[in-house]
Amino acid sequence: MQIVIVGSPPLSTDLFARTSEILGELWLSDVVKIREQEDEAYKMELGITENPALCIEEESIDFRDVIFQGIIPEKMEIKSLLISIVWQEESGGDNCGTGGCGTCSTTGCH
């Protein structure tokens, strides 16, 4: 899995730093790669209209999606997202809604 931060500084730089920090806190820095992208063609392909944007790519299944755009989410929101995605990849299924993502007990199910 790869995270792509789309946009131009300073907002994209802030989102990149926040996301990188969270990857480190979750011990995912070696597993989940992160990069910045300013390419207009990439923005058009994904329908990105606001900066910054956080996108997820999974090459093994040719998947790309915009998760956030136009905001810098709170650290806890990014952390919950990453926990949900990684847990789902490891378990091979969708555990959200059953407490499997680990955030339902503290933030309510999303």
Its domain, for residue 47, covers 2-107
Query: CATH number, domain at 43?
Result: 3.40.30
pLDDT average, residue stretch 90-99: 50
pLDDT of residue 89: 61
Structural domain total, the chain: 1
DSSP code string of 93-105: S--TTTTTTS-HH
Please tell me whether the overall predicted TM-score, pTM, comes out greater than 0.85 for this model: no
Higher pLDDT, 91 or 1: 1
> How many CB atoms within 10 Å of residue 28?
18
